[in-house]
Structure 1
Amino acid sequence: MKKVAFYTLGCKLNYSETSSIARMFEQKGYAKVEFNESPDIFIINTCSVTENADKKCRKIVREAQKINADGFVAVIGCYAQLKPKEISEIPGVDAVLGAAEKFRLADLIDTFEKTPSNAPAWVVASHIDNAIEYHTSYSLNDRTRTFLKVQDGCDYPCSYCTIPLARGKSRSDSIVNVVNAAREIAARDVKEIVLTGVNIGDFGIREGERKESFLQLIKALDEVEGIERFRISSIEPNLLTDEIIEFVAQSKRFAPHFHIPLQSGSNKVLGMMKRRYKRELYTERVAKIKSLMPDCCIGVDVIVGHAGETRELFEETYQFLNELDVSYLHVFTYSERENTAALAIRPIVAKSERAERSRMLHILSDKKKRFFYEQQLNKQGKVLFEDEVQNGQMLGFTENYVRVAVKYDPLLINETKEVRYDHINEEGLMEVTETEAFVLA
């Protein structure tokens, strides 16, 4: 029995796809092992979002060679689609598969041979227009929470982004298939499903036509027995409708937690980014959420140092976020990407200035999160406890994404308990006291 190991870089979507590809290998008789257990085959699922994609890929390939110099190394994912030739020339790489080919890897692997030293790897990567099939994927690495892919690709040509070039056009699973996958996951005693995709609000496109909607999807999932809660990973503000917000507010299973990409709080920068909304719409979305769910957690993606973002325009973003009733920020430092429209925009922001702007927003994010946690004190929430220990305490998330720490108790793993928020510890985690429904060990 050959052994295969996987390493995943990037987003939750990549993790869901890696998990599904791993199951394909197991169904063909391969034994899935850890990366350091001398596997016969190493599969590296790459990301193209950060500027260090090449450096990270090379490092992981080197580590694979140290573990087993005779092991076969295959590279898949977004970076593999964008730069197949470049990756094929990395010493130690034996095969590179593009977006349309990666789900065929388990079938193709037997046709590959270990490439001689200094010879380029096999490349099986067609043009991105060929990536038209949809592959249902979900992760099963964590028995508490699963990432379920419902949509792939993107039709939004944002000026800074290569994802449409790496994943192709927007396409989706059917509601029937997603519901069936959710039931399969529920049968494995998983309590929470996180819906993921490239642009999940655009759910419903199949064979180039819109056939269903994201609102229809979440209404169907809300009826799935055995899953205690669903969480929406990220949704564009222009696709987050009043109807979706209103449904989540009264649903049985959807968590009061939204992650909404903003990218900039300056309308001028949003225009240069080719985003499909202005900041006024974003303000309306946040206000709508808070009017119906005052304790809802709202996360924000923001990019600093985009080409054309002057200091004054950045300060617009900072002030906008400072006044916005949101809970935390995910801050990304802009980095140039080949074949993107942003390369033609001026002025270019110095990397030192990008780093300073990032530092400022990280500090603001910490303040926002602390304030959100302080607002929860003396209230109650339901925690799904995980098999994760930090400083002798086990951790879990509430429905509104408050990170809770309690004394370790193995009986609590994968259990949902109601707690009362007591105080915030030095690590910024919420500590809790007993309620009638939950007695601390």
Structure 2
Amino acid sequence: MKFNVLTFGCQMNVHDSDWLIRAMESRGWKAVDESEANIFIVNTCSVRDKPEQKVYNILRRLGHLCTSPGDFVAVGGCVAQQIGEGFLEKFPYVRLVFGSDGIAKAPQYLEELAVDHEKRLVVNDFLAQYPEREGGLADPNEELLPPGIGTIPGQAFVNIMQGCDNFCAYCIVPYTRGRQKSRLSSAIIDECRALVKAGIREITLLGQNVNSFGLDKNGSDLSFSQLLYKISEIEGMERIRFTTSHPKDIAPEVVKAFGELPNLCPQLHLPVQSGSDNILKKMGRKYDRARYLGIVERLKEACPDIVLTTDIIVGFPGETDEDFEQTMDIMERVRYESSFSFKYSDRPGVAAVKMNPKVSEEVAQKRLTHLQERQKQITRECLEELTGKDMVVLLERPSKRQEAGGVSWRGKDSGGRVVNIFFEGSDETLQLGGKLIKVKITQSKNHSLVGSKVGDPW
């Protein structure tokens, strides 16, 4: 069978899609471009309204490509969890709908539907425990690359938990990903060890709120900080990252780890969402700006070079000009190197839907533009400060922009910054993906750095 996967949303969705592609290929299916496929899998996101609307547009387009009895579309992810049977009712060529916990058995269901052209399935039940995927193999004795290996050479992602128990007023995740379920620490460590053995140099631990790992009903024998230390001890483990962190759950031991673990990258995505105590309370974030800034202060004490990034929502119901200025103030205090910022949008079933007054589209857009323009300036200032410094870069792929006389590659330093390096005299056949190289930063740009190599890659 020839299939194509379209992915929207967060890194967890990207990771899920990578796993699903490899699982289906292990069963003899072939991943192809959309124009060649007869089975289409759409992995969806519903955190904001725009991605959800995009899914409907994509499904209408894919309907024109389903021309034979065996052609069909499968919809997975958060929108699938949310809409469920509604997809079957609205789109006759959609024959499989699987939610967050359903992906573990999606390969089996896809095979069943490829044989039985009349069958249609909705798999949306939440499971009580984390659903281990066991490789998704047709033959249990067949070998498959470790589950976390994705498409970027040298890098991999490992799920450590799923779901969330926080129920922030604006967030649909607890309703589409379910309640928090921590994975067994032994399974996580075994997967990380297998990835390193397979040549992976950087692992990112994934979860909706990794800081609360082990705190759910079924729990775990390790806390998140203990898990970090165990993974750090794996022989050959060169870089560790994790995302995403809820500020209310970050333990002092995790902060301490940034100063003690040499392979824990000095980078943390710490969503603030708003700098106003008034709005944070309405959002149900369970921390105030003083507590958040205290966490930032301790992080910088433990690891002075730490790179902090964040998420910010503007235009939350009831946000005043003064509330927004508090958000701008916290940006200035923390000086995030980058941020993901969005206008608030109502999501079905969340508490904020009923909150008033709503901020007008015009005001929200004006605030967002102002915030994003200031973020661009801060990002540029932070990058300029790095000129002349040495850093180690994990190379990923050839740069989009090339110049005569050699080839340029892009990669990331330990802080997650994009660095482009020119290899003079080399041609496009040069294979450097997954290699590390020491560079000296020679130039800063709006969102990236340029470096010259110091020594050879390894």
Match of 1:46 among 34, 44, 47: 44
1:72-116 Cα offsets, whole Å, 9 max, x none, are 11101111011113322135322212233332122123443446x
Question: Which SS does the other structure have where 1:168 is aligned?
Answer: coil
Q: State the Cα distance separating 1:226 from its structure 2 match.
A: 3.0
Partner Cα distance (2:76, 2:340) in 1: 26
Match of 2:419 among 387, 404, 411: 404
Instruction: Specify the alignment match of 1:429 in structure 2.
Output: 448
Contact 1:138–1:147 (8 Å) recurs in 2: yes
The number of residue pairs the alignment matches comes to 429
Is residue 100 from structure 1 mapped to residue 101 from structure 2 by the alignment? yes
Structure 1 residues 139, 6: CA separation in 2 closer, same or farther (over 3 Å shift)? Answer: farther
Structure 1 residues 5, 144: CA separation in 2 closer, same or farther (over 3 Å shift)? Answer: same
Matches within 5 A, 1:382-397: 382-392=392-402, 393-397=408-412
Partner Cα distance (1:320, 1:360) in 2: 14
Question: Which SS does the other structure have where 2:40 is aligned?
Answer: strand
Instruction: Specify the alignment match of 1:76 in structure 2.
Output: 76
Partner Cα distance (2:247, 2:287) in 1: 7
Normalization by structure 2: what TM-score? 0.88
1:168-225 Cα offsets, whole Å, 9 max, x none, are 1111112211111112222332221111111111112566335321001110110123
Match of 1:133 among 123, 130, 133: 130
Question: Which SS does the other structure have where 1:294 is aligned?
Answer: coil
Instruction: Specify the alignment match of 2:55 in structure 1.
Output: 57
Question: Which SS does the other structure have where 1:224 is aligned?
Answer: coil
Partner Cα distance (2:111, 2:418) in 1: 45
Match of 1:250 among 247, 251, 260: 260
Structure 1 residues 188, 61: CA separation in 2 closer, same or farther (over 3 Å shift)? Answer: farther
Partner Cα distance (1:285, 1:308) in 2: 26
Letter in 2 for 1:224: I
Q: State the Cα distance separating 1:331 from its structure 2 match.
A: 0.6
Question: Which SS does the other structure have where 1:355 is aligned?
Answer: helix
Match of 2:316 among 300, 306, 315: 306
Instruction: Specify the alignment match of 2:299 in structure 1.
Output: 289
Q: For structure 1, which runs of at least 5 residues remain unmatched after alignment? A: 116-120
1:306-334 Cα offsets, whole Å, 9 max, x none, are 11112221121112212323322111221
Is residue 416 from structure 1 mapped to residue 446 from structure 2 by the alignment? no
Task: Name whichever of 287-296 and 158-167 sits farther off.
Answer: 287-296
Is residue 201 from structure 1 mapped to residue 211 from structure 2 by the alignment? yes
Instruction: Specify the alignment match of 1:118 in structure 2.
Output: none
Letter in 2 for 1:8: T
Task: Name whichever of 53-62 and 193-202 sits farther off.
Answer: 53-62
Matches within 5 A, 1:16-27: 16-27=15-26
Partner Cα distance (1:326, 1:190) in 2: 29
CA RMSD of aligned residues (A): 2.2
Letter in 2 for 1:24: A
Q: State the Cα distance separating 1:21 from its structure 2 match.
A: 2.4
Question: Which SS does the other structure have where 1:138 is aligned?
Answer: coil
Letter in 2 for 1:48: S
Matches within 5 A, 1:311-326: 311-326=321-336
1:250-278 Cα offsets, whole Å, 9 max, x none, are 21311000100100100110000000211
Task: Name whichever of 408-417 and 305-314 sits farther off.
Answer: 408-417
Instruction: Specify the alignment match of 1:15 in structure 2.
Output: 14
Structure 1 residues 105, 296: CA separation in 2 closer, same or farther (over 3 Å shift)? Answer: same
Instruction: Specify the alignment match of 1:85 in structure 2.
Output: 85
Contact 1:257–1:296 (8 Å) recurs in 2: yes
Partner Cα distance (2:322, 2:81) in 1: 37
Question: Which SS does the other structure have where 2:247 is aligned?
Answer: coil
Letter in 1 for 2:443: H
Contact 1:201–1:239 (8 Å) recurs in 2: yes
Structure 1 residues 133, 287: CA separation in 2 closer, same or farther (over 3 Å shift)? Answer: closer
Question: Which SS does the other structure have where 2:437 is aligned?
Answer: strand
Partner Cα distance (1:127, 1:432) in 2: 50
Q: For structure 2, which runs of at least 5 residues remain unmatched after alignment? A: 134-146, 403-407
Match of 1:176 among 171, 176, 186: 186
Task: Name whichever of 178-187 and 402-411 sits farther off.
Answer: 402-411
Is residue 231 from structure 1 mapped to residue 228 from structure 2 by the alignment? no
Letter in 1 for 2:39: I
Percent identical across equivalent pairs? 26
Contact 1:296–1:400 (8 Å) recurs in 2: yes
Match of 2:122 among 115, 124, 132: 124
Partner Cα distance (1:336, 1:50) in 2: 8
Contact 1:78–1:167 (8 Å) recurs in 2: yes
Contact 1:76–1:97 (8 Å) recurs in 2: yes
Partner Cα distance (1:205, 1:271) in 2: 23
Question: Which SS does the other structure have where 2:13 is aligned?
Answer: helix
Partner Cα distance (1:405, 1:332) in 2: 28
Contact 2:45–2:52 (8 Å) recurs in 1: no
Contact 2:185–2:221 (8 Å) recurs in 1: no
Contact 1:205–1:211 (8 Å) recurs in 2: no
Letter in 2 for 1:80: A
1:114-143 Cα offsets, whole Å, 9 max, x none, are 46xxxxx93414454x46433355342222
Partner Cα distance (2:111, 2:338) in 1: 46
